[in-house]
Amino acid sequence: MSLSDDLAEQLLSAIIDGTYPPDSALPPEGELADQSSVSRLTVREAVKQLRAQNVVRVVRGRGTYVNPPDRWTALEAVVRAASRSSHASLSERLIEARRLIENGATELAAVRRSEHDLAELREHLAAMREAADAGDTEQFVQADIDFHDTVMRATGNLFVPLLFEPFGPMLVEGRRETSAVPQIRVNAIAHHEAVLAALESGDPEQARRAMDAHMNQTADDLRTHVIKAAADRA
């Protein structure tokens, strides 16, 4: 990583941490250079990187200002900023994003999946059942993630699996929280069985409906067994 890359990462972290909130100005170029023990050229290159991601904007004659995260154009930066928001809100927004991507992906996978893909899905579902019986949340989460990854790859479109790459840590954390609840594991297995059956049928509309029902179940379980339960304990 170059000095400018390193400084851009430091500035982004400071922005996400709230050191430089939205619409505030970054320190002047010279001050940043002194603080970081780098040249002004390095500062300019770092700021240029953040401008390219629309994390900051330059106002001529006034300085460099931080943009609100909803104007950023770099997915990884947006995901990092989102992870600082309220956990319940983040989980619900993540399900919304999953619904948009996974419903269409499952529809496409229904007509492109191979017998090898179906065999993998059966293995992952069996692992989910085994983990649920053993009360092994970590194994359940991994099998759940592997099931969905296989559906993404079964689309035969190399771009689709990459769409979830930046969400990885949040997906694991969210599933770990919900999968710790026995009833949620039961619900999840039933819906994964329906998704698998739809993919086996090769019917794209049935596959889309099955995944959409799973997303509905996921959202309902989150609100009922996690968010409401936490509110009741508070």
**CATH code of residue 52:** 1.10.10.10
Query: Same domain, yes or no, for 198 and 228?
Result: yes
Length of the chain: 234
Q: How far is CA 51 from the centre of its chain?
A: 23
pLDDT at 87: 58
Query: Same domain, yes or no, for 138 and 26?
Result: no
Name residues whose C-beta falls within 8 Å of residue 130's C-beta, 6 or more positions apart in sequence: 139
The amino acid sitting at 88 is A
Q: What is the pLDDT along the chain (234 residues), one digit of tens a residue?
A: 799 999 999 999 999 999 999 999 999 999 999 999 999 999 999 999 999 999 999 999 899 999 998 899 887 888 778 766 655 667 788 889 899 999 999 999 999 999 999 999 999 999 999 999 999 999 999 999 999 999 999 999 999 999 888 777 777 777 887 888 899 999 999 999 999 999 999 999 999 999 999 999 999 988 887 766 555 555
Kindly state whether residue 53 falls inside one of the protein's structural domains. yes
Q: What's the pTM?
A: 0.75
Structural domain boundaries enclosing 58: 3-75
Q: Residue 207, class by beta-carbon neighbours within 10 Å (0-12 exposed, 13-18 middle, 19+ buried)?
A: buried
> What is the total count of domains within the chain?
2
Kindly state whether residue 80 falls inside one of the protein's structural domains. no
- Unique residue bearing structure tokens 């596959």: 207
CATH number at residue 213: 1.20.120.530
pLDDT at 176: 81
Query: Same domain, yes or no, for 10 and 61?
Result: yes
Query: Same domain, yes or no, for 137 and 188?
Result: yes
Domain stops at, among 25, 55, 75: 75
Domain stops at, among 75, 95, 128: 75
DSSP letter at 71 equals G
pLDDT at 231: 56
Encoded tokens for 23 = 């619409």
